[in-house]
Structure 1
Amino acid sequence: MRNSPITLKVLCYPLSAFIFSCFLSCNGDHTQRQRNRTAEAEVKEIKSSRAQIFLAYLDALVKLPDAKFSEAELRSINKKYASQLPLVMYDSTQEQSTQDIVIHYYKNNQLGPVMESGIRFLVPETLTDSLVVSDFTRYFGNVEDEKPLIGITKQPLSVHIKVSSDREMKLTRKNNINKEQAGVTMVDIFNYR
């Protein structure tokens, strides 16, 4: 009889360890599911914040004075945002990644009161999904629809935002019924004389 309490204690320790390990394994599964939910929220937050950073980047370009609206100044601003956005200048000899925001600066050499220069941004699909026309209207102002030149087209017409007397943004969007919720695939900034 004296040995029976000791035997019970010896038997109780492994049984307690088994129950404790079952508890830990269940808790670990819950923790893993919790991590997955948090990771999904972080990815959405990163996409959202990347869209906000892109809008701030465009705002910096739109506010450039006429004398500084040049390719050299564009490259300078790109360096400031390079750690936050995947910015790449267009180069016909190299293939760009599908994750990059491809930038093309161009200059108009025609004389007269026309567009002097422009910058085109090809927005990657990953950013297009979180960057819609309404983001631009909240940030830059109201949009004006482009008027069709030849009647009805399948491709949705671009929308324009008059940012200042000599600056305009043109947004090319996905084909959506609701214009405000359509993803933006390309942005042009025009500098007029």
Structure 2
Amino acid sequence: MQIMRSYFRFNMLLVLLYAVAACFVGCNGNSKQDSKPNNKIAEKASVTDLFLSYTDSVAKLPLNRFNEAGIVSLNKSFADKLPLSIYKGKQTNNDKNIIVQPYQNNNTATIIAGIILLVPKSITDSLHIGDFARHFGDIKKEKPMIGVTEQPRPVQINVNANTVIKLTFNDNEKLALAHVTMVEVLKYR
């Protein structure tokens, strides 16, 4: 009889351990399933943050590196994080990459150099004017020179005395929620 009680207790202990283990396995499975949508949200936020960080890095480039060689070097540090490519004409017609085009003004214009960032739709959908305002500071609207146009005038953010970021965006009811389609970083005299 004593052996039977020990055997019964041992079996009960095994059943209890099995139930606890099954509970932990079940909880871990649900946790993994629930975290997938959250990972997508975090992934979108991280692409926005990475793009803002890249734009910040472009804006901080000194004037002597504000050219294609400076961009190629900068792109290497972001290569595994963002889809970047240098503008090379019509063959760069790719709606998955951020197209980067540096240019220089050799004349006496007040803008010495600029870098254009064409934002692909995959990033535009999660990149808002408000994101730039939170990262860089206050936005200044450009006044139209002629009148009302279909495309809204770009807005700009003064980074410092010689650097401005201009944002082109899709028309939207609220400026902070407008999707950014192009970023231009300009260096002034």
Pick the TM interval, shorter chain. 0.7 to 0.9
Match for residue 66 of structure 1? 63
- Trace 1:17-96 onto structure 2 (pairs within 5 A): 37-96=34-93
Measure, in 2, the Cα distance between the counterparts of 1:157 and 1:37.
42
Counterpart secondary structure, 2:91: coil
Answer yes or no: is 1:175 the counterpart of 2:171.
yes
SS in 2 for 1:155: coil
Q: Which has the larger radius of gyration?
A: 1
Q: Distance in 1 between matches of 2:33 and 2:170?
A: 30
The CA distance in 1 between the partners of 2:145 and 2:43, in whole Å, is: 39
Separation (CA, whole Å) in 1 of partners of 2:177 and 2:69: 34
Inter-partner Cα distance in structure 1 for 2:161 and 2:92: 36
The answer to whether the 8 Å contact 2:86/2:101 transfers is yes
- The answer for the alignment partner of 1:166 in structure 2 is 162
Q: Which runs of 5+ in 1 are unaligned?
A: 1-26
- CA shift, 1:102, in A, is 0.7
State the TM-score, normalized to the length of structure 2: 0.80
User: What is the root-mean-square deviation of aligned Cα atoms in Å?
Assistant: 2.3
Change (3 A) 1:39 1:97: farther
Indicate the residue corresponding to 2:15 in structure 1: none
What letter corresponds to residue 147 of structure 1 in structure 2? K
Matched, 1:128 2:107: no
1:111 aligned to 96, 108, 129, which one? 108
Runs of at least 4 residues off by over 6 Å: none
Alignment partners' CA distance in 1, 2:166 and 2:92: 25
> Residues 105 and 176 of structure 1: is their aligned pair in 2 closer, same or farther, counting only changes over 3 Å?
same
Deviations along 1:30-50, one digit per CA (max 9) or x if unpaired, are: x5x876653332222111101
Q: For residue 134 of structure 1, report the CA deviation from its aligned partner.
A: 0.8
State the identity as a percent: 38
Structure 2: state its 5+ residue gaps: 1-25
- Name the CA shift for 1:150/1:86 in 2 (closer, same or farther; >3 Å): same
Question: What is the 5 A alignment of 1:129-148?
Answer: 129-148=125-144
Distance in 2 of aligned mates of 1:57 and 1:156: 25
* CA distance in 2: counterparts of 1:160 and 1:192, whole angstroms: 13
User: How much has 1:64 moved relative to structure 2?
Assistant: 1.8
1:100 matched to 2:114? The reply is: no
Give the TM-score taking structure 1 as reference length. 0.78
Using the TM superposition, give the Cα deviation of residue 190 of structure 1 relative to its aligned residue in structure 2, in angstroms.
0.5
3-state DSSP of counterpart to 2:36: helix
Aligned to 1:49, the other structure's residue is in SS state helix
Residue 165 of structure 1 aligns to which amino acid in structure 2?
A: A
Secondary structure at the aligned position of 1:91 is classed as: coil
